[in-house]
Structure 1
Amino acid sequence: MQTEGMTSQPVPLDVHVIGNRGAAIFAAVQAHELYARLTESSLAYSDCWFTNTGFATVSQWDQEKDAPVLAIEGLKVLALKAAVFEATGDEVRAELLVPSPVDEMIHAILAQPNVLRRIEADLRVQFVHATELEEFRYEFGGETDALYETAGFGPKPLRYWLPASEVGRRLAAMEAGLETAGVIGFGKRTTHRFDDTVAPAAV
């Protein structure tokens, strides 16, 4: 069954055209008066959006140092995704393969809908993302890398651009430790027991 905004067959991408358009969108976002608010608000509530399968896979992750850099990577990808969607009108095609740390930052940015909607309206672009279409199969040398390079975004910070095979290796290394701490399936279930009968404090 085909859904609006989705096509059954992959649409070939003009990497040169879309990469350049993505670069233009990214530059326009950076020049927008709400850019600082967007980036600052995306980083403001790190306790709410940190997961065990995204940022935690970055070696010796440091929120203060790493998050601002990763926010730039997330915005670059959102600009490329917007360019793909603009060219194809296809949500599936626009769901570029990215590593889990970058994807986690994208979710943090998209959690600022008020600011994003205003930027979208001013720039006449649409930042798209569909969690149900995500596939964590990013590897070096694919379509995402080609678009990133064509956009002139420079060398990717490989600290965050981890191939799926390496992410899998790191997750496997962390899993036992998390289970020892009572966190099963990277947070899908826990073994901690708390008192469910806590009453509201007296006023």
Structure 2
Amino acid sequence: MALPNPVEVGVRAAEILGQIEGTEEYGRLERSSKAYDDCWATFTGYPLISQWNLQRDVADLFTEGLRVLALKTAVFELSDGDEHAAELEISAPVDEMVHAILAQYTLCQTMTGKLGIRFVHMTDQERFAYEHGNYTDQCYAAAGWGEQNRRYWLDKTEMLRRLDILGRKYEGLGIERMGRGHEIDFEADAEERELATVS
């Protein structure tokens, strides 16, 4: 797979981000994405952040998520619409914020339609193999945004280490397969509470 030159991607991504921030929809997009905390939180995205607190971290995560969408858009344009190339390797917590932004579907459609760009994100193209210094980092640096916030940009090795820790803690709470199942019987729990109240 031939990837566009990182410098070209970075320059175009910075332009795209500036255009997005200049739209009348931007303020609402930011507010809505940050307010999505009651609706979207996986067991394997945000919780990988050390001592994570969404209220404290949401502004920085929004910045990183929007930058990623600008980078993906730039790669998509410069690769003649190659969806696979545009699905950049990124850190799982940042990817979760990308989901929160894209959940503002109507706003995203309106804004990208006006700008003549396309946000690119498909689960079947995702690859969680992000490594510091990779193509994504090169494009990010070329955009003039400096180095990523390493609180959120975890490489694959660190991500797997933290997933192992989380998995063991979840299992101790009865949550199985990283949040993909549990044996909690809510009806039985309610009955036990009623009996305890009566006695």
Could you state the TM-score of these two structures normalised by the residue count of structure 2? 0.91
> In the alignment, what sits opposite 2:123?
131
Question: Given that residues 3 and 85 in structure 2 are in contact (C-alpha distance below 8 angstroms), is that contact kept between their aligned partners in structure 1?
Answer: no
Map of 1:17 onto structure 2:
8
Say if 2:96 is the partner of 1:95.
Answer: no
Question: Residue 41 of structure 2 aligns to which amino acid in structure 1?
Answer: F
**1:6 equivalent in structure 2:** none
| C-alpha distance in 1 between matches for 2:111 and 2:145 | 21
Instruction: Supply the distance in 2 between the matched residues of 1:105 and 1:72 (Cα, whole angstroms).
Output: 9
Aligned-residue offset at 1:123: 1.1
Equivalent residues in 2 for 1:139-150 (5 A)? 139-150=131-142
- 1: CA distance between counterparts of 2:169 and 2:7? 45
Structure 1 residue aligned with 2:144:
152
Letter in 2 for 1:175: G
Q: Aligned residue for 1:106?
A: 98
Are positions 1:65 and 2:34 aligned together? no
1:39 correspondence with 2:30: yes
**Partner of 1:4 in structure 2?**
none
Q: Which runs of 4+ in 1 moved over 4 A?
A: none
Aligned residue identity for 1:76: R
Distance in 2 separating the partners of 1:172 and 1:47: 25
Please state how far the C-alpha of 1:195 moved relative to its aligned partner. Answer: 2.0
Give the letter aligned to residue 141 of structure 2: E
Give, in whole Å, the separation in 1 of the partners of 2:75 and 2:83: 9
1:177 aligns with 2:169: yes
Name which of structure 1's ranges 36-45 and 136-145 shifts more when overlaid on structure 2: 36-45
Paired AA for residue 74 in structure 2: A
Q: Which residue of 2 aligns with 1:50?
A: 41
Stretches of structure 1 lacking an aligned partner (at least 5 in a row)? 1-9, 199-203
Instruction: Write the letter of the residue equivalent to 2:97.
Output: M
Per the alignment, in what secondary structure is the counterpart of residue 118 of structure 2? Answer: coil
Query: How far, CA to CA, are the matches of 2:146 and 2:21 in structure 1?
Result: 16
Q: CA deviation at 1:154?
A: 1.7
Partners in 2 of 1:144 and 1:125 — Cα distance?
20
Specify the code of the residue in structure 2 equivalent to 1:188.
Answer: R
Identity of aligned residues (%): 43
Alignment of 1:110-125 (within 5 A): 110-125=102-117
Instruction: Give how far 1:86 is off.
Output: 0.8
Cα deviation for residue 12 of structure 1 reads 3.0
What letter is aligned with 1:23? A
Aligned residues: 188
Q: Is the 8 A contact 2:90 2:136 kept in 1?
A: yes
Q: SS of the counterpart of 2:3? A: coil
Q: Tell me the distance in 2 between the aligned counterparts of 1:12 and 1:186.
A: 33
Higher alpha-carbon deviation: 182-191 or 101-110: 182-191
Please report the RMSD computed on the Cα atoms of aligned residues, expressed in angstroms.
1.3
Letter in 2 for 1:152: G
Give the deviation of 1:182 after TM superposition: 1.2
